[in-house]
Structure 1
Amino acid sequence: MCAHILVAEDNEMQADLIRRLLVREGHTTVVVHDGRAAIDEAKSRRPDLVVLDLMLPGVDGYGVCRVLRQDDDIPVLMLTARSAEEDVLLGLDLGADDYMTKPYSARELMARIRIVLRRTLRPAEDSPVLRVGSITVDPVRHLVTCDDATVTCTPGEFAILRAMAAEPDRVFSRRQLLHHTRGHDRASTERAIDVHIMNLRKKVEPDPRRPVRLVTVFGVGYKLVGGHHVP
């Protein structure tokens, strides 16, 4: 699976290491070292993934992610030396699909990249359209509609909605949903699921403060209600 990946990292040695790892796996790669260049490159030549350092000069990673999310759903993997939970949740709230803190191993970085690309570049051709009440999830076209209106989802949000729509009324724990979105089970990142659910509710609920579709099951997790799966 070859992809075009944009690396936005101000540390030139770190950027070159990531570039070499990606090229070794057959990906085409463009490297930039500041936020404005990242925005311009992403808009002029839409990459399949942006590996985005948080502490970029000019426009920081949060700002870059915010701009990209205004009109596109490019997958974003954030890299940062910050590990505070508030920083992680802010990045995810802005639409980042994954978040790695430095230092990290090359092996883990490439594993995370493969997970995101596998999810976004290889939808199964025979995957059925999923319908739960007024929500429709099309895995092949990577399309979500609600009440006949198109809903723009980040890859992480789409993965959650797809998993839940495949088994309506099933209660998913945060850890189970985390597995669908990232392929990792680390309890320290499970609150990220709450952010994705909150963002999805803004998009599919008549009143996000009183959800009737993406429902919380207290002490357990979440479920998608309102209908049955129709292949």
Structure 2
Amino acid sequence: MRPDAVMLFAAGFGTRMRPLTATRPKPLIKVSGRPLIDYALDQVREYDAAQIVCNLHYLAEVLEAHLANTNILLSREEPDILDTGGGLKAALPLLDRDPVFTMNTDAVWRGPNPLTYLADIWNPENMDALLLCVPKANAVGHAGAGDFLIGPQNRAERGPGVIYTGLQIIKTDVVSVVPDNIFSLNLVWDQLMSDQQLSVATYPGQWCDVGSPSGIKLAEEFLEHADG
């Protein structure tokens, strides 16, 4: 089944973006004059998902105002922020689909639509989640040794290899069964890895992580090159 719902993660505190996030949430930091979240929305709308949900916590009212008069449903996390797994679990009634995409809102892309690319690879018969990753050579603005190794049959293994882009397809039951309300998706992924049900797809284009103030200039240069 083609995934038809997208969960946008936008609740975080944006600590690496300080002081820019003192007055606005990270998804509203501007790159080339546009808020970061709008670049993610471009990809989602091009994919034409039937349902879009965005979670809110830090400076929620600012992001809520930006998303007013759209078809995006809002999952406001109060009083506590719920982390990625808990945030997705809380939003499942609004998503009302299975499986779903989850997508970070702090990156820009160059290449094929990442949601379409991932959906074309998705196989619910032998995957409970599918992570979209990039080789280090195709990642801009991201430090580190990588997040996953790719094992036999494209199964994910922890280790210094490809970099997770913040986009995945995941079945909702593997999240809803977690008894906690606040938890990271890493908890779910670890269980799926032990069950050989976490897969990796490698994005053929380029991806730019806008994780810090210095990343803004990199992202703007990245986008200029994309338009050239």
The two structures have a TM-score, normalised by structure 1, of: 0.32
The answer to which structure, 1 or 2, has the higher relative contact order (CA under 8 A, 6+ apart) is 2
More helix by share: 1
Give the structure with higher Rg (CA).
1
**So what's the TM-score if we normalise by structure 2?**
0.32
